[in-house]
Structures are given as structure tokens and as C-alpha cells.
Amino acid sequence: MKVLLVNGSPHKQGNTFLALSEVAKTLEKEGIDTEIVHIGLKPVRGCIACGKCKENMDGKCVFDDDVCNSISAKFAEADAFVFGSPVYYGQPNGALLSIMQRAFFSNGANAQYKPAAAVAVCRRGGSTAAFQTINMLLEMNNMPLVTSQYWNIVFGREQGQAALDTEGMQTMRTMARNMAWLLKKIHQDGKPAYPEAEPWQPMHFIR
């Protein structure tokens, strides 16, 4: 089993990385493989609602000049996900949101029913709003949310300060153990056991 952790911070080894690393180390102790992917510093496109990914049906966004498709390509081999972000104006990093929106819209089939968790890292406030914003993407893809002893939030401003948030780090470890427990339950017979889905019945309020 493998967990994909996405570092949505522009700082490759900043406080968001420290939080995700605590999760990864705990998962590894539980026998779960991990990979931390950094979104990088290059520009990221937003979704333009062109619908070409649905026409092509190849699991890729039609814009292939940023990191979105390379991250999305890892969805198939991942059994669970953790998306971490710093908090900007009470919201996750816009680049991470753009990647998630495009990746889930074009390749959400490879993420459905796989456990996932959001992690928000902030100086002081806005953490719960950013945390919930990421969770909304996960909930719309039938992904079981992995909880902890508290919301998955870590505090720290300067690089490295997140390590001083002892409760935050414990929250990361608890979430990781919960994720490992859930994964082992899902895969206890050697292959994942997911629920059967009803066909989608979209409803629009303008007729």
C-alpha cells in the first residue's frame, strides 16, 4: 500500500513539508509506503472549463505545461492521499487548488473511494477555512476523510517552527495511524473493497 502526500507550499522543505514528513514517518512505521511530491515553483494554470479532458478520456488535463498531469498520473498507484497547504488569506495556496481542481476533474476516477486527508499549516488564523476548502474537493470524490484527535492543523511561521508545535505534530501522527488502520481494513483481503456506486443523477435547478 502507498500514500501520496502532496506538498502545496512554494517552500519545498518548509513547515508544510515538516507536517507531511511527520505523517510519512508514522505511515512508514506502520508498513505503508509513502511519496511526498512538491508542486514546485513554476506557474500553474487554472481550469478554464473547456471540457477537453472529458472528451479525450485519457485522465489528463489538456494543459500539459505544468505539474498537474505529473501529479495526477500518480493517482492510479496511490491507495490514499494527503494534501498539505500553507494558509494564505484564510485559504489554501491557489496553485495547489488549481492542481487539485484540474486533477480531480480529469482523473478523479483514480482517486474515488481512496482515503484522504487535508493538512493546513498557518501562522495564526484561517486554518480551519483552508482545511475545509481542501476537504470539499475530497468529499466530492467519494474519498473517506481521515480524521485525527483534532483538525489536521499545524502552527508555525518561520521555517522549522512547525516542529515546535508538539500538539500539531501529535495530530499528524494520530492521523497517520488512523489512515494506516483504515487502509489495512480496506485491503485486508489482499485487494481493496470499495462500495458499489449508484449511477450519477445530476440535477439542475433551471429547467
In tens, the pLDDT along 34-88 reads 999 999 999 999 999 999 999 999 999 999 999 999 999 999 999 999 999 999 9
In tens, the pLDDT along 89-101 reads 999 999 999 999 9
**What's the distance, Cα to Cα, between the start and end of the chain in Å?**
46
Fold of 2-186: Rossmann fold (3.40.50)
For residue 121, the one-letter residue type is: V
Q: How far apart are CA 150 and CA 164, in angstroms?
A: 17
Instruction: Determine the pLDDT at residue 83.
Output: 98
Q: Domain coordinates of the chain in residue numbers?
A: 2-186
Instruction: Determine the pLDDT at residue 206.
Output: 83
For residue 71, the one-letter residue type is: I
Farthest CA pair distance, the chain: 55
In tens, the pLDDT along 148-185 reads 999 999 999 999 999 999 999 999 999 999 999 999 99
User: Structure pTM?
Assistant: 0.96
